[in-house]
Structure 1
Amino acid sequence: MSDPQYYPVHCRTTYIVRPGDSMWTIANMYGIPLDCLIRANPQIPNPNLIYPGQQICIPAFCPPERHCREMYIVRPGDSMWTIANMYGIPLDCLIRANPQIPNPNLIYPGQQICIPYHCW
């Protein structure tokens, strides 16, 4: 697998930074992991310093993180349990690899699920 920092980024939309915004608040606003938002915006040298008027790419797809062997796109009828079984990994491992999912019993078609290399 290639290094995630070199994945092409396709922006779902562009967000214009407003006073009081942070990368964290923007990531939460769009329901994406903070590290995904940061990786999608390499033009921002310090993610702790953003300024009103800056353009932020809201990625349509989050490239896999280093600990993910694959990103699985949830289909209708999927559950974390069925996905874990499909990949032969423990359910608790799959849940730990996806902290962006607040309720593992509630996933939706189109969501991205990290399939981890290793369980920890």
Structure 2
Amino acid sequence: MSVNFKKYTIRPGDTLCSIAKEFMITKEELLAANPHLTDNKLSPKDILWVPEKRSKPRIPEDNPPTFEKRYTVKGGDTAYSIAQKFNVDLDYLIKANPHIPGISSIEPGDILCVPKREEK
């Protein structure tokens, strides 16, 4: 996947987390693109480079039989954190999303099918 960068001017009240969320990336990705940042202090009018991923979100063509809802992946999400958020087994989440091979590679914007919880 190729990555381009967008120039971003810091506004009052911005934080690394708020900027990362706005661009659907992780704080770590933002820091990696801006190695000049030695701490979390941002000043208005400072310039940051924001990575823009050049891939389209992966969207399921249909819903599996165990489907309950769809979820749009956000920056910082992992398959494990999403499974915990919806209280479903990670294996069920993986099986419900065959459109994403290697679910550990989810990216912000991807759409996941969240399966119904298994009754035990």
Quickly name the TM-score band, shorter chain normalised. 0.3 to 0.5
